[in-house]
Amino acid sequence: MPAVSPSPLQSVQTFRKAFPVPRRFVGRLVQKRSSGEKFRMPSMPKRALATITSACLIACLSLPAWPEGAPTGNASRAPKPSIALPGAAYAALETITPDHIRWHVRYLSHDLLEGRGTGQRGGDIAAEYIATQFAEYGLKPAGDHGTFMQKVPLVGITTLPETKFAVVPKRGETMNLKPLDEYVAFDQTQQPQSDVDAEIVFVGYGIEAPEYNWDDYKGTDVRGKVLLMLVNEPPSSDPKFFKGEALTYYGRWTYKYEEALRKGAVGVMLIHQKQMASYDWDVVRNSFSGEKSYLRLEGPGLKVASWIHFDVASHLAAASGMNLEKMMQDAQSRDFHPLNLGARLQAHMVSKVRNFESNNVLAILPGSDRKVVDEAVVYTAHYDHFGIRPEMPGDNIFNGAQDNATGCGILLEIARAYGSAGARPRRSILFAAVTAEEQGLLGSEYLGKHPPIAAGKISLDLNYDDVKPLGAPEEVEVTGAERTTFYSNVQAMAKEFRLAIRPDARPQAGHFYRSDHFSFARVGVPAFSINEGMKFKGHPESWGIAQEQEFVEKHYHQPSDEYHPEMDFTGDSAMARFGFALGWDAASLPQLIQWQKGDEFEPARSKSQ
């Protein structure tokens, strides 16, 4: 078939329009042969016509034809990208539909699943559901002892009301802080009781970043101290300095605790300020109340890992003869030096400590090429959410429909498509529904450290988290893909799917460090999440942004993140198809994917290979 237009798809379409092949023709031919009736050869002109028609019939049967716009599964079909994937991959991709995803979301976010809490019955039921689906799709178990389950050893810590948390300033009254309203805190030593009576030292952002020639500690001995610090990182618009607007890992609260522990501190008090945290105190209250899970400890831990309300910090600064705004200002200078407030934290931490296990659910489709069958591409999505909070009045089930029943629905739909495909890519495909993401990416952290296929042999991790069911997307976000050697393939595929690549809409929120692909990046695996942008078919961009803002303001990590029948999963299906094609392509490449030269994760990659 002569190339008549730029993309192979258009040529097929224009061709079929120009030369429509009546389906019924095909039918009759088939009928005759099957009925055993003697088939007589038609006359010459008829023969010529028959030859031409059967020629284009064969052409059409091998190359599926698709209408305009991003493939969604609503009786639409996807373009044949210039990235050569076998026909079997397309046939499988085309079976991905919005309704398949809808039913997974509806089930996983049902009240009966009780918010899929980590270490709660609802979470375990969700894990069994996912494992059952994987088995149904004909995939192989990749968990422990030939099962689909990888046991993750966890500890559930609940800070008990007997806990005392008092700040004794240099001058004035001792501040006995009110839990949840003025502070939240956890004892990360995983002991039932810990006591702290230590000096409070203000360390600015608490960052030591040699690559940015930045060190808030300046060699100060903070062993045994409690560190008061700011979240986020020094403001910058220079991409070479803390990556400009985008948040680096240094700005994440997890880094702050990790660095303080490395410095020998016994506790941390993070100051919550809405703009700097990019979320409300309510999110802190919800994320840090009730039971919080940790991976079972293999070393020391902070006795007090806490957040304090901004007003408390202002009061403490004033009672120490200082001004918080001024302290925050000074912290923005490279010459900042730690400040001993002359105040003490006296905390008596009392915790309920519950050892338990939760499961990562792992399945694998072995690759078709023996040379690289021990290498893999991984798809991840977390299935856990905040569970049920018996002590909460009213609606106390955190259903987590969008976060992250949508990602699970997409993961399952991609797994089903791979399982039903008439062929397999060269490398193996690993499917991982991970637990305890809401507890701090714990399931994926454990999987990254205990992968069924060595991290150095994993070519790519594609993650799905919180994919808005808002309709047909015209954009895709693949933040982090530009940092890998796979980016040109991602760009080509996005073009074929008629999706514009949208840069991270809120780089300051540091999304790259807030979802499970980050656990793979930390062990060197090229990894990123796939999500829709803000532009949806039939709507201006502002509509998409408004939907996002409304979700973040009203439903993010709230019981109201629930399933609604009017949700439109067209976009989720489009993201599933896009990820399916990307993963198949990545699993078929001659080489393993790498990070770009100089990337912060490159050292971990070379260490793992």
For Zn ion, the binding residues (CB under 5 A) are: 403-404, 465-466
Q: Shortest Cβ distance from residue 467 to Zn ion (Å)?
A: 10
We find the least distance from the C-beta atom of residue 432 to Zn ion, in angstroms, to be 14
Cβ atoms of residues 284 and 184 within 8 Å: yes
> Based on CB atoms, which residue is closest to Zn ion, 380 or 404?
404
Element holding 428 (H helix, E strand): strand 428-434
Which residue lies nearer to Zn ion by CB, 124 or 466?
466
The Cα diameter of the chain in Å comes to 108
CB of 120 to Zn ion, least distance (A): 17
Phi, psi (deg, nearest 5) at residue 566? -80, 5
Distances (CA, A) of 298 to 99, 295, 458, 516: 44, 9, 26, 21
Rounded to the nearest whole angstrom, what is the least distance from the CB of residue 169 to Zn ion in the complex? 39
Q: What are phi and psi of 430, to 5 degrees?
A: -105, 130
**Identity of the residue, 187 or 384, whose beta carbon is nearer to Zn ion in the bound complex:** 384
Closer by beta carbon to Zn ion, 133 or else 402: 402
**Nearest residue (CB) to Zn ion, 531 versus 588:** 531
Give which of 202, 154, 194 is closest to 338, Cα–Cα: 202
CA-angle at 416, arms to 79 and 418, nearest 5° = 60
CB of residue 549 vs Zn ion: minimum separation in angstroms?
A: 17
| Spatial CA neighbour of 533 closest among 489, 465, 468 | 468
- d(CA 556, CA 75) in angstroms, rounded, equals 32
Which C-beta is closer to Zn ion: that of 241 or that of 379? Answer: 379
Least distance (Å) between residue 400 CB and Zn ion: 8
> Residues 50, 53, 55, CA angle at the centre, nearest 5°?
105
Q: How far apart are CA 333 and CA 214, in angstroms?
A: 9
Of 169 and 407, the one with the shorter C-beta distance to Zn ion is 407
Q: Which is nearer to Zn ion, 514 or 539 (CB)?
A: 514
Q: Cβ of residue 252: shortest distance to Zn ion, in angstroms?
A: 15
- How far, in Å, CA of 276 to CA of 37, rounded? 79
**Nearest Cα residue to 539 out of 475, 494, 464:** 475
CA distances from 289 to 307, 391, 429, 466 (A): 11, 11, 37, 22
From the CB of 403, what's the least distance to Zn ion, in Å?
Answer: 4
- Note whether 293 and 118 are within 8 A (CB): yes
Residue type, 480: G
